[in-house]
Structure 1
Amino acid sequence: MVSLLPKLSKVSSISEEDNKKSLVYVLQFINIFDEGIKRKSKFIPMIKARANAYRVYKSLEKEAEGDVLPRIAERKIEWLRNGIDKKDIKKSKISLRDYYIGMLSTVLYTIKHELGIEYELLMSRDDDEIFCKLYVTEYWLKKRADDTDYHLKFRKKKKWDKKFQMASPYGPFSLNKKYSGKGKKIFNCYDEKQRESDEGTFFTYNDKVRLLNDAIYTKLDLYVLKNFDIMIDAFPIHENASLNVLKKKWATLKAIHKAQPLDDIKNYYSESIALYFAWMGVYAIFMGYCAAVGLIVFIILCISSAMGENTIYTGTQVFFCLFLAIWASFFDQFWTREERKLAWKWGTANMTKQVHHREKFEGKFQFDEVTGKMKVLKRDSEKRNLKKSISFAVIGFLIAAVIAIVIAIFRLRVYMKSTNDLKDYGSIVPAIVYAIQISIFDLIYSKVSIWLNNLENHETTNDYNNNLALKLFLFRFINSYCGLFYIAFIKMYLSSDQCTENGCMWDLGLQLSIIFITNMILNIIEIGLPWFLYKFRVQWEERKMKKHMSKAMRKELLSIEIQSKYEPYENPIEDYMEMALQFGFIALFGSSFPLLPILAFIEIILEIRVDAWKLCNITRRPDPVKCENIGIWKNIVVFIAYFGAITNSGIVVFTSGALNHFELPTKIVVFFIIEHLFIFGIATVSYFIPDSSKIVNRGIAWCRRITQKKEFGKLMDDRPSFVRRDSLSSDFSIFLSYYDMTYHEH
């Protein structure tokens, strides 16, 4: 290993245990010493260079108060010194290399001397990149956690033996001398493999990343560093020991029959990613139930059809429609309870909503009188409204284009069925073309929706993700389902495109099965693409690598450099979207093909392990994100469940043939009656099944009480206090309400 900096001396006043360093994060910079940069004749105006420097430090030169820039800027960097004549600044230029060196020097100085984060610089194998490995000590983590009231998990006590005490509380860490000697009795400790133990660190790797990122962003804007082409990227690092455990017990098809290690996933990645896989697990269980019922229904339909029992055949179809409507509601309610349970278990229940300012938010960078800090403020509302109008217009145009293409595909179907030579292929070929069209337009619209969402310039990450999810779902809902609505409810009334002899239910089932099979094939291709890109990047680096570099150095740098070539993991929006659409196929139209849930179940089981494999093998470790729930995706699932009640009512009345002997007005009346009954059934399920169990509610209240006791200085003393109610202050009356709720147990 070739270090570009001397090793840092240890602080003598801190214990050896507190002085233990941990590698937490990696910053990836361009190599400012590269000969290619030296040869570049580019120059940058000094006024722009100075503005960029202040922007990295979240300030403007004219608004800067005190020493915004580190002292090294005044002492060592000519173009950043104070007192330079403004006329000289406007006229002068500096070389690109001097600009890079000045910026990197100030950033590294801030990291080491102002934030107290230790670092080590390593050169890439082909000398075109510098990797900055960031280390923090145990004491630094404790100090940062104390300053920010960071919550850590309490150590479980033996007397916490009631069911509502199975999940340990989380409370703010404190360096107060009164508590410092009791730390290991209060908080969990973790060994080097992130396992709970009697000795070790108080902080998991995710805790360390969050604390380090929080510290860096108080002084520096890493996104601006990337935007100014000074920094390439920043990422947490994979830990081979913990990662290999996940690979063996989770990210492999050999573990397909095993339950997912959700706690391990949460500990290694984050609550956000663990919630996605937990949701997938619950979805797989419910799809398994649906597949079993669908298989029984399919067998009954086959037998009744062979025997000519139309009454049994139609009655079974109606039953399956009703089952799907109620099944979708049960899935939503069960997941809500499971989600609440996991939030309690992982310490995120009722957590304070964190608003993350989006890095790419554009606006005027100026002083915000509300927060008292420099920040990017919103631009003119008229421009924002104009951009939203453009988004609506583009979305409307694309939706109209999709509907036109679907009409053209079904016109092709009519043409083929009316042509003798093509008649035999009149059902299959248009169905395949429609399935391929769905995938192509989904890909196109994904790019367009991201562009539109960026154009709208959302201020927070949460707003950005929610708006992107809604755009994607709106378009894909129409793109995926409009052809199916045509077959189910319109086709039977057109003389030019009549259903087959087996009825519109058969046509609908054929189209659904082809869409599913096509999607499964495309998913296999999608899996291979990230792997191919990763291999291409690694091989490209191998070709560029200098032959004279020692094998020892190659081996030392291999892990970090290879991880830098992995695909970044942004968020699970696309993964959620894919499964939400699949849920829609089943909940809305599954009654037309009872075997469809079996295909869906197989796809879900494979998707869980494939997503896990991608995450563990060809994806960078993402920054850990805490969250309490799956957010807007729950609303989308609820919408599909209720819309499924309407769709299934229509299939029973108009498509199944059960009411063919009635006139259209009568069918419409029956449709509204059945639709109201289905929705009433869903609402009844939601009403009688609470969002969380009694144990979870008590557990959350108990955890809050224990946390409050720590904040009041009564560490780990969970025995009831015999204090008169009228002697308590208003703050302690709240405290007592939790005592009443949790300790009058039998």
Structure 2
Amino acid sequence: MSLWAVTFLEYWKRTCSALSHRWDCSEFEDIEERPRPEFTAMAPMTMRNPVTGAEEPYFPENKRLNRTLTGCMVIIVMVAVVLMFLIAIILYRTILRIVISKSNSFLPIASLSGSVLNLLIIIMLSKVYTSLAHILTRWEMHRTQTKYEDMFILKVFILKFVNLFSAPVYIAFFKGRFVGYPGNYNTLFGLRNEDCGAGGCLIELAQELLVIMVGKQLINNIYEFIVPKLKSWCQKRKMRLKEEEEREEEEKVSPWEEDYQLLLCEGLFSEYMEMVIQFGFVTIFVAACPLAPLFALVNNWVEIRLDAQKFVTEYRRPVAERAQDIGIWFPIMQLITHLAVLANAFLIAFTSSFLPRLYYSYTRDSTLSGFINFTLATSPPRFLPNHSLCIVQYRGFMDQDGKYLPEFFHLLAIRLAFIIVFEHVVFSVGRLIDLMVPDVPEDVEVKIKREHYMAKNALAENQVKRVFNVILVSRIWRLATAADRLPAIKTDRPHSC
């Protein structure tokens, strides 16, 4: 999936360059984009634009930097809030497991209920983050609409990314790593740290991903289908009541008046955010949940029809706005692609049993006979009751004194080497794809060169015409001056009346 993501982004760059050239937006952000109306109204001073030479509203960069840093501090605080909720869910699962274990029940109620609770918290905090990002970005006073949208998107993405991916990252890379061993368990707030189930952390990670990804997709689709209809019905009802009060006689409503009763289009921010988050789920944790791309495909197939119905029948036609590209969404997807390479490498190396099995098959038994016992350690003798004949085993490569065995360090070296080789190979192949696939299609590049050539020729012809006109005017002026200096010729003809 990492190679697919790299290929997808490379071909998207080609498509973006072709579209920007087709719609004449290649230099929109640098030259043509004007200041935002809100910025124009709230800017404290004006300054001459060095490109256009026109007086434009201006906001000092040092003040904007101070406000941006303040916004970053607020985002850090909100990230800490997300981590606090994550710790609360961990404690909830731990306490619930203790209660369930005392009742001799083996149902995975703790993990499932924790995943559902995490999903509800994610949905609740997402609304808060969007409103907070709006306030902070408006306060930072960005000049153009592109800069404003980029900073707003970045804030919301950081908060939503931490909100959505904190629990899967914890399960994938931290859960079960700091448990300890019998007789010396590590605790958090007096409770024993969580450990993975008998099937390992990959099963719980896949379950968490399915609950968050599929549950969020279902809720979003239901929300996008029902809420616009309810809003549209309420708005049409209000406008009809107003029209009935204003009009005494019933008249047939014109089509444009019916269209005015539709909802105002709020833009495509939520659609972009949903696709980018889905892109992250599909690429980052695909090693743990191979069904994620299938669920994403089904969701996109359904959502295409829902969005088509929503934008055609429930919303007014949106006002077209020029844009050079998709903005900061593309760098965000590039960042997700790089994170996906590292995350999948660590998942395969540390979370899955792929490398331990490979190590055991080469060093012990190729048939993997006795592999389970190889991965288990025996508890220290002091942990067992006196004269007890039972043996307590736990997952780990330790001796009876709680010290790591040589196999642990061998596996650690193999895992680190695998991560280095894996990410170097994937990044090298991605770089090779980047070199093989040009960012600008050949036909578009030819058109751009042709336009530059014609523009230079037109400029040269214009300069030649200007020089010719100057020379012609100067010669005419000289001739006129010389004619004025000639002596007047006297004639004997009588002047006619």
Task: Give TM-score scaled by structure 2 length.
Answer: 0.71
CA contact (8 A) 2:168 2:208 kept: yes
Look up the match of 2:81. 401
Look up the match of 1:624. 320
| Residue among 376, 400, 408 paired with 2:57 | 376
Note if 1:683 corresponds to 2:437: no
CA contact (8 A) 1:365 1:374 kept: no
CA contact (8 A) 2:287 2:348 kept: no
CA contact (8 A) 1:487 1:508 kept: yes
Any idea what SS the aligned residue of 2:77 has?
Answer: helix
Instruction: Label 1:363 to 1:381 Cα distance change in 2 as closer, same or farther (>3 A).
Output: farther
| Residue among 493, 502, 513 paired with 2:210 | 513
Note if 1:415 corresponds to 2:95: yes
Instruction: Label 1:345 to 1:377 Cα distance change in 2 as closer, same or farther (>3 A).
Output: closer
C-alpha distance in 2 between matches for 1:568 and 1:466: 22
Instruction: Label 1:365 to 1:400 Cα distance change in 2 as closer, same or farther (>3 A).
Output: closer
Look up the match of 1:341. 18
Any idea what SS the aligned residue of 1:376 has?
Answer: strand
CA contact (8 A) 1:504 1:655 kept: yes
| Residue among 240, 248, 261 paired with 1:549 | 248
Q: Which amino acid aligns with 2:139?
A: L
Instruction: Label 1:399 to 1:669 Cα distance change in 2 as closer, same or farther (>3 A).
Output: same
| Residue among 262, 269, 272 paired with 1:576 | 272
Any idea what SS the aligned residue of 2:10 has?
Answer: helix
Matches within 5 A, 1:306-385: 324-349=1-26, 353-361=31-39, 363-364=42-43, 368-370=47-49, 375-378=56-59, 383-385=63-65
Any idea what SS the aligned residue of 1:642 has?
Answer: helix
Q: Which amino acid aligns with 1:550?
A: E
In structure 1, list runs of 5 or more residues that go unmatched.
1-323, 715-727, 730-746
Look up the match of 1:115. none
Alpha-carbon shift at residue 622 of structure 1 (Å): 2.5
Look up the match of 1:533. 231
Look up the match of 2:186. none
Give deviations 1:229-264, integer Å, cap 9, x for gaps: xxxxxxxxxxxxxxxxxxxxxxxxxxxxxxxxxxxx
C-alpha distance in 2 between matches for 1:668 and 1:598: 31
Matches within 5 A, 1:230-629: 324-349=1-26, 353-361=31-39, 363-364=42-43, 368-370=47-49, 375-378=56-59, 383-420=63-100, 421=103, 423-424=106-107, 425-495=109-179, 496-527=193-224, 528-546=226-244, 548-552=247-251, 554-556=252-254, 559-629=255-325
Instruction: Label 1:489 to 1:444 Cα distance change in 2 as closer, same or farther (>3 A).
Output: same
Q: Which amino acid aligns with 1:510?
A: Q
Q: Which amino acid aligns with 1:395?
A: I
Q: Where is the helix percentage greater, Structure 1 or Structure 2?
A: 2
Instruction: Label 1:350 to 1:390 Cα distance change in 2 as closer, same or farther (>3 A).
Output: closer
Alpha-carbon shift at residue 711 of structure 1 (Å): 7.8
Any idea what SS the aligned residue of 1:568 has?
Answer: coil
Give deviations 1:304-363, integer Å, cap 9, x for gaps: xxxxxxxxxxxxxxxxxxxx1111111111211222233344444456643231121253
Alpha-carbon shift at residue 377 of structure 1 (Å): 2.9
Q: Which amino acid aligns with 2:211?
A: I
Alpha-carbon shift at residue 523 of structure 1 (Å): 1.0
Any idea what SS the aligned residue of 2:32 has?
Answer: coil
Q: Which amino acid aligns with 1:620?
A: R
Percent identity between the two aligned chains: 23
Any idea what SS the aligned residue of 2:67 has?
Answer: helix
The total of aligned residue pairs comes to 389
Instruction: Label 1:565 to 1:398 Cα distance change in 2 as closer, same or farther (>3 A).
Output: farther
Instruction: Label 1:350 to 1:459 Cα distance change in 2 as closer, same or farther (>3 A).
Output: closer
Matches within 5 A, 1:103-142: none
Any idea what SS the aligned residue of 1:426 has?
Answer: helix
Instruction: Label 1:341 to 1:367 Cα distance change in 2 as closer, same or farther (>3 A).
Output: closer
Note if 1:663 corresponds to 2:405: no
Any idea what SS the aligned residue of 2:57 has?
Answer: strand
Q: Which amino acid aligns with 2:228?
A: P
C-alpha distance in 1 between matches for 2:154 and 2:203: 32
Give deviations 1:643-670, integer Å, cap 9, x for gaps: 1111111011011111235535412343
Alpha-carbon shift at residue 364 of structure 1 (Å): 4.5
Q: Which amino acid aligns with 1:686?
A: D
Any idea what SS the aligned residue of 2:139 has?
Answer: helix
Alpha-carbon shift at residue 576 of structure 1 (Å): 1.1
Instruction: Label 1:574 to 1:584 Cα distance change in 2 as closer, same or farther (>3 A).
Output: same
Any idea what SS the aligned residue of 1:623 has?
Answer: coil
C-alpha distance in 2 between matches for 1:572 and 1:712: 44
Give deviations 1:37-59, integer Å, cap 9, x for gaps: xxxxxxxxxxxxxxxxxxxxxxx
Q: Which amino acid aligns with 1:357?
A: P
Instruction: Label 1:492 to 1:637 Cα distance change in 2 as closer, same or farther (>3 A).
Output: same
CA contact (8 A) 2:83 2:166 kept: yes
Instruction: Label 1:430 to 1:546 Cα distance change in 2 as closer, same or farther (>3 A).
Output: same
C-alpha distance in 1 between matches for 2:320 and 2:215: 34
Q: Which amino acid aligns with 1:612?
A: A
C-alpha distance in 2 between matches for 1:609 and 1:707: 44
Give deviations 1:68-104, integer Å, cap 9, x for gaps: xxxxxxxxxxxxxxxxxxxxxxxxxxxxxxxxxxxxx
Q: Which amino acid aligns with 2:34?
A: H
Alpha-carbon shift at residue 570 of structure 1 (Å): 4.2
Alpha-carbon shift at residue 374 of structure 1 (Å): 6.2
Instruction: Label 1:677 to 1:373 Cα distance change in 2 as closer, same or farther (>3 A).
Output: closer
Alpha-carbon shift at residue 698 of structure 1 (Å): 1.9
Look up the match of 1:222. none
Instruction: Label 1:691 to 1:490 Cα distance change in 2 as closer, same or farther (>3 A).
Output: same
Any idea what SS the aligned residue of 2:253 has?
Answer: helix
Q: Which amino acid aligns with 2:221?
A: I
Instruction: Label 1:343 to 1:580 Cα distance change in 2 as closer, same or farther (>3 A).
Output: same
CA contact (8 A) 1:417 1:423 kept: no
Rg larger in structure? 2
Q: Which amino acid aligns with 2:442?
A: K
C-alpha distance in 2 between matches for 1:381 and 1:711: 37
Matches within 5 A, 1:700-715: 700-705=448-453
C-alpha distance in 2 between matches for 1:655 and 1:482: 16
